[in-house]
Structure formats: C-alpha cells, structure tokens
Amino acid sequence: MPRGSPMLYPEIEPAYSGWLERPEGHEIYWEELGNPDGIPVVFLHGGPGAGMSPNARRFFDPDKYRVILHDQRGAGKSRPFGSLENNTTDHLIGDIEALRKDRGIDKWLVFGGSWGSTLSLAYGQAHPERALGFVLRGIFLCRDQEIDWFMDGMGKIFAEAEKKFLAAVGFDRNPGSAALLKRFGDVFAGKEGEAAAIAAARAWSGFEATCCTLLPDDSLVEDFESDGIALALARLEHHYFVNKGFFTPDQLLRNMNRISHLPARIIQGRYDIVCPPVSAFDLHATWPGAEMNIVEDAGHAASEPGIVRELVRATNSFNGTGFDKN
C-alpha cells in the first residue's frame, strides 16, 4: 500500500500481540490495536497463506475501532510456518472463534478480501450470532470455475507472466487446471528437490501478484516472491484449491440465508483478473440488502487507490449496527 496515502490512517503499532495456542499443534499470531472500547473488528487476510501486512491496520480509525488481526494457520508469524497439517477451513473458523473468546469480544465486524472474503463468509455462516456485519473485497467463492480461472484463465490476460509460471514446472503451454494443479503438487511435495519447490512457489506467487493490479506494481511482485510470503502462499493456495476450499459445491451461496439479514459492503475492482467481478455479482444476487461498489479504475489488490478509498469509506460509515449513507 503506498506510504503516505491520505486515504489510509497513519501507521500504528499494536498495543498487544501474542500467540494463541491451538490443540492441533498450531500457534496463531495475533495483534490488537485501536480503542479498547471501540467497535470490534476482525481483519481476515487473503491467500490463504499471504499473512497480514502492517498496512492492514490502517483501514480502521483507531479512535473508533478495536482492531483484531491475525496470521492464519501456516502464514506470517503463525507457527509452524507453511504447515498443511490440520489446516482446513473449519480449522481456520475455529481459530477465529477461539481468538474472539480469548480477546473477550461478543460480536465484531468481519473484514476480509480475496480469500479473506471467502473465510469471512464461511465464518459468518458458521457463527452468524457473532457478526455485526461485513466489509468484503475482491470476492472469491472458491467454486470450481474460480479455481480453474486462476490456473487456466488469468494467463489469457497476463500471457508473459503465465509463461514464467508454467516454465517453473516444466510446461511451455497450459495443460489445463487439473493437470497443472497435479504438477505443482508433485513439485511442492519435493519430488524434484527443495530448490525446485522453492522456485515453483516463487513463480506461483509472482504470477498472482502480477495479475493483482490494474497497473504494474513491481514492489507487490517483489513482496509476493519473498520467502516470508511465497513459500506459504503458494503451498497453502494449492492445498486449498486441490481440496476446493473444503466446501461442498456452491456452499457459500447456498448458505447465504444464515447471514443475509446482516449489513454488508461488497467492494470489487472492475478489472479484477484474480477474482473476476462475476463472483461479486453472484454473491450480491443472494444478498440484496448488501451495498455493492464497483471500483472502475482498479484490479484486485487492496493497495490500489480506488479500493483503499472504498474500504476506508466502508469502515468510516459503519456505526455498529449498519452502514450510514456516504
């Protein structure tokens, strides 16, 4: 996210942080900041596996909100890093609930983008009584067509980036989603050695980052290709893709009746290549009370100015029970 952007709140350090021990051998890193008496909000990062950026703290007015952030299993500072063991959507939902109880929060606003939007919906549908509302960006419903698009669609727009993506696992043309997922799975499993697995992870993450923004952002690609992101992001995304998010077909849309009474803002880049707008429209069709904002000059990334503007507008306008008109 651009430093000094007037749309973001100033940089802020957490007031509290720590690791939440979970019974399956994971330790979940969390942070808390803002007003201890403010509106509670939980930030759910993307990926899965991307971890949280310090800039994630800056979407929220620290005088208004009590902000809780955490690195999901295997990501960021959570331990063990990159672990696939006991790492499913239900586990992640359980971690969110355990964190809510640990921090002594009754209900909170749920904020998530990309995979974070997926997890926000899944968490809300599992625990609707704990959600005050939702702010969702770059909608991803983890359906077959969305996974297939990631593996065998984005490259139709970003052909140069796809060439590097495919070359990392020995292809000169895309063999299709299923074959490509299998090939990456073999490499990530170490069948060609650790160096090949690391190179494939960097290629996967770099491909995604390249496709994330309307205009090129070399710093985002560099971040995604770093060891702190690439090795967890690629392996965990592959893990969740192969397992179809641990959802049944159309599960998130079929269960919308559990949360459709709650207020929501859906923020979607018009030129989002990673998570095309059709998913946002499909979600909105099941949630007519939600407000959907299409950002006409943005792609997928939360760092793009138009996306930042709408996310901050959404958090500024939430009053604890709904969104004020602005």
The reported pLDDT for the residue numbered 162 is 98
The pLDDT tens digits of the residues spanning 39-58 come to: 999 999 999 999 999 999 99
pTM for the model: 0.96
In a domain, 1, yes or no: no
Task: Fill in the DSSP letter of residue 87.
Answer: -
Q: Which two tokens stand for residue 138?
A: 């770059």
Residue 72 has pLDDT above 90, yes or no: yes
| Closest alpha carbon to 185 in 142, 267, 243 | 243
Q: Does one domain contain both 36 and 138?
A: yes
Examine the fold and report which residue of 196, 218, 244 is the final residue of a domain before the chain moves on: 244
The reported pLDDT for the residue numbered 227 is 85
Question: Letter for the amino acid at 5?
Answer: S
Number of independent structural domains in the chain: 2
Q: Is 300 a catalytic residue?
A: yes
Averaged pLDDT, 223-243: 95
Question: Which one of 71, 95, 217, 272 is the catalytic residue?
Answer: 272
In a domain, 300, yes or no: yes
State which H helix or E strand residue 31 sits in: strand 27-34
Question: Which one of 26, 45, 284, 300 is the catalytic residue?
Answer: 300
Q: Does one domain contain both 49 and 177?
A: no
Q: Does one domain contain both 160 and 30?
A: no
HSE-CB at 141 with a 13 A cutoff on CA atoms is 22
In a domain, 123, yes or no: yes
Residue 2 has pLDDT above 90, yes or no: no
Burial label for 17, CB within 10 Å (0-12, 13-18, 19+), is middle
In a domain, 6, yes or no: no
The pLDDT tens digits of the residues spanning 137-194 come to: 999 999 999 999 999 999 999 999 999 999 999 999 999 999 999 999 999 999 999 9
Examine the fold and report which residue of 192, 223, 244 is the final residue of a domain before the chain moves on: 244
**CATH code of residue 95:** 3.40.50.1820
Domain region containing 182: 145-244
Question: Which one of 114, 177, 279, 303 is the catalytic residue?
Answer: 114
